[in-house]
A and B are shown apart, each in its own frame.
Chain A
Amino acid sequence: MASGITTTEAADLQSAASPPSAPILDVNGVTIQYKTKEHLITATYRVGFQVFPADRFVILGPSGCGKSTLLKAVAGYLQPVEGEMRLKGNIIRDPGPDRVMVFQEFDQLLPWKTVKENITFALTNGGRCDNARDAEEIAMEYINKVKLDRFENTYPHMLSGGMKQRVAIARGMAMEPDILLMDEPFAALDALTRRQMQEELLQLWEDTKFTVLFVTHSIEEAVIIGSRILIMSPHPGQVKAELNAHEQSIATIGEDEFASLQSKIHNMIFADRVLEDETLPNV
């Protein structure tokens, strides 16, 4: 299953020396600062990257590298103080349904709405559906995709953590956004469920080839999920490297290339930690 994806995609990439199309998301020299009560904190400093259609673009870094802040800025919740972010050429100013965010927290589902209503709520308020019947049809389609049929009339508090995240993913995908933003969506799940969810996400990607920007702090998850990995260094967040991981997937776990990519990334992040300890005595 997964090995099939990687070979076809690899062929595509080799043939495309120049980009096949314009990037969906173009982040250029973005510096983000935010204020706490006493400090002005620079979360990211002049970060730039490009996400192309059907990318599984992973932002990976240790805590404090501003990866979540960067994702929130792409979602439109924060404004950069320098640089710009363009979605399909348009500068990002506000949150909007063309970039749907899937959060880590389980309380991202509206507890007063059933699984189906959570999705139809997004569809009708997000402006994708005008009438309730269309919304219901689309909602059911995506509920089936994440294998939650029979649960469509259940309230979120009756679901397990993994099921809640599935609903959130279904809600995000049902909106068919230009880009799906995922902020460590599996971090609060147990290890077995997390692996299962990673597998299902890749399966869904194979079905619809959506574009996803995925933030994680797990190197293994980055290598499994990502087709391309952006590695960030902390304090403030800066781009350290961009690596290809499209040849690695669930199917290649335990193989040599998977392990060597994993240790390569590990060394990059680890080297950074040592440097950080030496150069920032005042922190």
Chain B
Amino acid sequence: MSEIKAISLFVRPEFENRGIETAVVGDIERRLSVWERVSNMDPVRKFSVLILLVVSWELYTRIGNVNELMFPTFSATAAALVKAFVEEGLLTNIWNSLSLLLTGYVIGIAIAAGLVVLGVWSRFGADLLTTLTAMLNPLPAIALLPLAMIWFGLGSSAIVFTLLHSIIWPVALNTHAGFQSVSETLRMVGQNYGLKGLPYIYKILIPAAFPAILTGLRIGWAFAWRTLIAAELVFGGQVMDTSGQLGNEDSNAGGLGWIIFANQMENQTPYVFAGLFTVIIVGILIENGIFRNIEDRTVRKWGMQKA
């Protein structure tokens, strides 16, 4: 007991600063050095990684004495890409692919929207939507292509049908989940100002769930783009076997997948690489050019998603 010392309060005199002086630590805001600022720029860092990859590719194929047919040099691929663009109408092939994709995308979103509205309005609709999504979402769209070819024959409608499958489920699933997570407070605010039915959906639910909807649109687009290229590859094979309604070489009616397939048949490996690159470039352009832009102007600006 005696070892526990009674701790007494140390009472100190009070004080108050009269007129707080300007701080003397230096500038409140100081510009970082040029090197720090440049290395903080995301595009600069990513571009350097790209350069590094290209240089190692070129060096590997030249020094390693690799067979041109297996793995062409970067310069040969780049030259093939430019040639394909300028002389062989690669832009037409890109457009062929994109127009198919857009058709499927628009129809798919419309169907998904219908399903989600049903899901908002009735419990049966919600059950239908969740069950269908749970069943069909795991099914890769390309697995439906054979069936689509039986139903619609060899043509763009078969491809659009497969695309629909890859768009509807992710978009519907994410939108529905987004609607369900709209806070009770926002719902009550909407009802307070007399909003009901469709205006309530597009004035409150859609903007409030927009981060989730945008995610769904992105996933749908990415699935559809992969499915489209794969479907065109399959069609390429079909066209070679049969008379060739789609992607006939003279008419240049095929899409990007067909380009890859056709060049492989002719052992034009640099063109196969060029085709793959085009698929990547278009993908990046749409992701960064369109989706990133929409995101910056909406959910980021509204602070619904961290910058």
Contacts and interface: CB of A to CB of B under 8 A. Distances in A.
Interface of A: 72, 75, 77, 94-97, 99-101, 103, 105, 107-108, 110-112, 121-122, 125-127, 155-158
Interface string B76-113: 00000000000000000000000000000000000000
B303 interface: yes
A96 B194 contact: yes
A96 to B, nearest CB: 6
Given A77-B188, A101-B188, A103-B188, A111 B304 contact: yes
Contact of B194 (A105, A125, A156, A158): A125
24 contacts: A72-B188, A75-B192, A95-B194, A96-B194, A97-B193, A101-B189, A103-B189, A105-B183, A107-B185, A107-B186, A108-B189, A110-B186, A110-B204, A111-B208, A112-B208, A112-B298, A121-B203, A125-B194, A125-B199, A125-B203, A126-B192, A126-B193, A126-B194, A157-B303
Contacts of A99: 192
Interface in B157-205: 183, 185-186, 188-189, 191-195, 199, 203-204
Interface string B263-279: 00000000000000000
Interface of B: 183, 185-186, 188-189, 191-195, 199, 203-204, 207-208, 210, 298, 301-304
B183 A111 contact: no
A111 B183 CA distance: 12
B303 A107 contact: no
B303 A110 contact: no
A51 B175 CA distance: 43
Contacts of B183: 105, 107
A97 B203 CA distance: 16
A155 B207 CA distance: 14
A156 B303 CA distance: 8
Q: Interface residues of B: mostly helix, strand, loop or mixed?
A: helix
B185 A108 contact: yes
B188 A155 contact: no
Contacts of B192: 75, 95-97, 99-101, 126
Contacts of B191: 77, 94-95
Contacts of B207: 110, 112
Contacts of A122: 193
Nearest to A156: B303
Contact of A111 (B188, B193, B194, B302): B302
Contacts of A94: 191
B163 to A, nearest CB: 30
B186 A157 contact: no
Contacts of A105: 183, 185
A99 B304 CA distance: 29
Nearest to A114: B302
B186 to A, nearest CB: 6
B198 to A, nearest CB: 13
B234 to A, nearest CB: 42
A97 B196 CA distance: 13
Contacts of B199: 125
B306 to A, nearest CB: 10
